[in-house]
Structure 1
């Protein structure tokens, strides 16, 4: 089970392929706040709702100085289909090796329909301009999470 991050921790560096196969690094966001959210799978109902919520609020978040990056274990080709099908504007990156998911504490044991399984733990980590974890939220709900995040961040 990977360790969960807490506020004040340095955010683990990552470089992952986006939906177009281009590399996206956390380092590229230096000087800006970034919301890194982790979701189990593209093109599934809950993950679609969450990605659409982030897309719908992207302008508000950007206006408050936040960029958004969604991370899943999907390959770039599936992320591209997801982006096109749902008209998503958030940056989606794939972590098939699950190294970034594990580094952020977003992969491990979780309850699914009353059973304990190993998989992606729906999580959101807010990273400040200096690459430090500002907030680390685990086992978040797909629906209503973005609205709660906006409220918590005072946006």
Structure 2
């Protein structure tokens, strides 16, 4: 479990678009991780669209947004579009 104000170990992140990153790649910016249970469901779609609509505001704050789910990368790629 991650505790508030405690550092976490660096880990690899698989991204859509055949990309990957490390948590440490985001050290100089804010990182928003939002978790959703399943792509393409009404609630998850609404949540993701709200982040997308506010993306310009988050960008001004040097914030990156990553959505996390247990779906396959292919399903997440489809959900992203």
TM superposition score category, shorter chain reference: 0.7 to 0.9
2:30 counterpart residue number: 33
Question: Is 2:51 the partner of 1:51?
Answer: no
Contact 1:19 / 1:76 at 8 angstroms: preserved in 2? yes
User: Pairwise mapping of residues 1-155 of structure 1 onto structure 2 (< 5 A)?
Assistant: 3=1, 5-84=2-81
Q: Which runs of 5+ in 1 are unaligned?
A: 85-155
SS of the aligned residue for 2:5 comes to coil
CA 1:35–1:58 in 2, change beyond 3 Å: closer, same or farther?
Answer: same
CA 1:7–1:71 in 2, change beyond 3 Å: closer, same or farther?
Answer: same
Moved over 3 A (4+): none
| TM-score, normalising length: structure 1 | 0.48
Which has the larger strand fraction?
1
Distance in 1, Cα, partners of 2:39 & 2:10: 23
| TM-score, normalising length: structure 2 | 0.87
Which has the larger helix fraction?
2
CA RMSD in angstroms, aligned pairs only = 1.4
Q: Which runs of 5+ in 2 are unaligned?
A: none
- Name which one, 1 or 2, has greater alpha-carbon Rg: 1
